[in-house]
Amino acid sequence: MTELIERAAAADTPAVELSMQQAINRALRVLLAEDPDVLVFGEDVGALGGVFRVTDGLQEEFGDKRVFDTPLAESAIMGMAVGLAMNGWRPVPELQFDGFAYPAIDQIVNQVARMNYRTRGAAPMPITLRLPSFGGIQAPEHHGESLEALFAHTPGLKVVAPSDPGDAYSLMLQAVRSDDPVVYMEPKARYWDRRPVRLREPSDPIGTSRIVRPGRHATLVAWGAMVQRCVQVAELAAEDGVDLEVLDLRWLKPLDAEGLAASVSRTRRAVVVHEAPLTAGLGAEVAALVTEHCFRDLSAPVQRVTGFDVPYPAGPLEPQYLPTIDRVLLAVQRTLEY
């Protein structure tokens, strides 16, 4: 075990201030160092270090046989990942932007997600698809999407979306070490969020949510960049005596129904916040689970605050599309009126 891995595993590791981008980079270094079968590849991840510099310095440290660029061909990238996984490698491909995943959907849904099932376990797919996701940076069209419902709906895939640097580090370790394919959705708007991080081994099992802020009057359920938006809402609501709990789902597949139900049963109200369009978004699944598990405890219908049922907008229109603090506060007010 390398010195880097030992430091990451130590229980008394001191906190280091890192951005989410740097935390993911640290995790990839640990994974590349501990397992010679881990490969990092994709669009500009090598010498450039990725468009968001998440893979900065990895090729220099581990060589261009383990960290390398690919052609700008997303279907080919995922097809190569399938072949590598079938031959014992642990691929970590990156598609650079979530909107670029559409050409690779055939490979992701029909090969990556199904191969283990199709072969009765003879061909596991330990693939972690790194996908810079969601909005918040006012990028051009096709550079901001919210595809979690599509991937979570696909049997065979795990889906995870970190919300801060500490979780980004530990969840990346869990994802790459898993023998199942994981879509790792990195919220682009939070790449530069800097916080003290303890580089420790993950302690929660896959599929575990976490309470970011405890509260009494209602639960705000979110993932990715919307977790911080909900924390801002909770802080503002507290000024008026409203105590909101913020639940970060983290794993969107498998989804922590038990943790979700425990939180909502305590607060008796729930508001789900996500960036994707409303219709058939993952918030509908969350609302259904809350209703199934907490029906007798609910004091109000589950509220949803989401993007609108339009194509994900580019550039200057994005702030009008994403859930705002005011929209979330309005939903909180509606649920408290029951």
Q: What residues are paired with 182 via a beta bridge?
A: 128, 158
Q: Which residue intervals of the chain bear CATH 3.40.50.970?
A: 3-197
Residue 13 pLDDT class (50, 70, 90 cuts): confident
Residues of CATH 3.40.50.920 domain(s) within the chain? Answer: 210-336
Encode pLDDT of 293-325 as tens digits.
Answer: 999 999 999 999 999 999 989 888 999 999 999
More confident: 142 or 103:
103
Measure the CA–CA gap between 284 and 12, rounded to whole angstroms.
Answer: 41
User: Which residues 6+ apart lie within 8 Å of 220 measured at CB?
Assistant: 230, 233, 234, 244, 245, 246, 247, 270, 271, 273, 328, 332
CA dihedral 249, 254, 256, 258 (to 10 degrees): 170
Give the CATH number of domain 3-197; options: 3.30.360.10, 3.30.300.130, 3.40.50.970, 3.40.50.720.
3.40.50.970
For 275-293, what is the mean pLDDT? Answer: 97
Is the pLDDT reported for residue 45 higher than 80? yes
Q: Is 143 a catalytic residue?
A: yes
CA–CA distances in Å: residue 91 to residues 4, 188, 216: 21, 22, 43
What is the pTM (predicted TM-score) of this model? 0.94
Backbone angles phi, psi at 266, to 5 degrees: -75, -45
CB neighbour list of residue 284: distance below 8 Å, 6 or more residues apart: 304
CA angle 262, 263, 266 (to 5 degrees): 90
Catalytic residue, from 143, 153, 274, 293: name it.
Answer: 143
Q: Nearest to residue 19, comparing CAs of 228, 222, 139, 169?
A: 169
Summarised one tens digit per residue, pLDDT across range 122-135 is 999 999 999 999 99
| pLDDT tens sequence across 66-103 | 999 999 999 999 999 999 999 999 999 999 999 999 99
pLDDT reported for residue 12: 59
What span, in angstroms and rounded, lies between the C-alpha atoms of 338 and 104?
45
Decide if pLDDT at 4 tops 70: no
List pLDDT tens digits, range 200-242: 899 899 999 999 999 999 999 999 999 999 999 999 999 999 9
Cα separation, 105 vs 147, in Å, equals: 11
Average predicted confidence (pLDDT) for the chain: 94
- Rounded Cα distance, 332 and 323, in Å: 13
Q: What is the DSSP letter of 277?
A: E
- Nearest Cα to 27, choosing from 175, 203, 238, 247? 175
Q: How many CB atoms lie within 10 A of CB 121?
A: 9
Question: In the CATH scheme, what is the code of domain 210-336?
Answer: 3.40.50.920
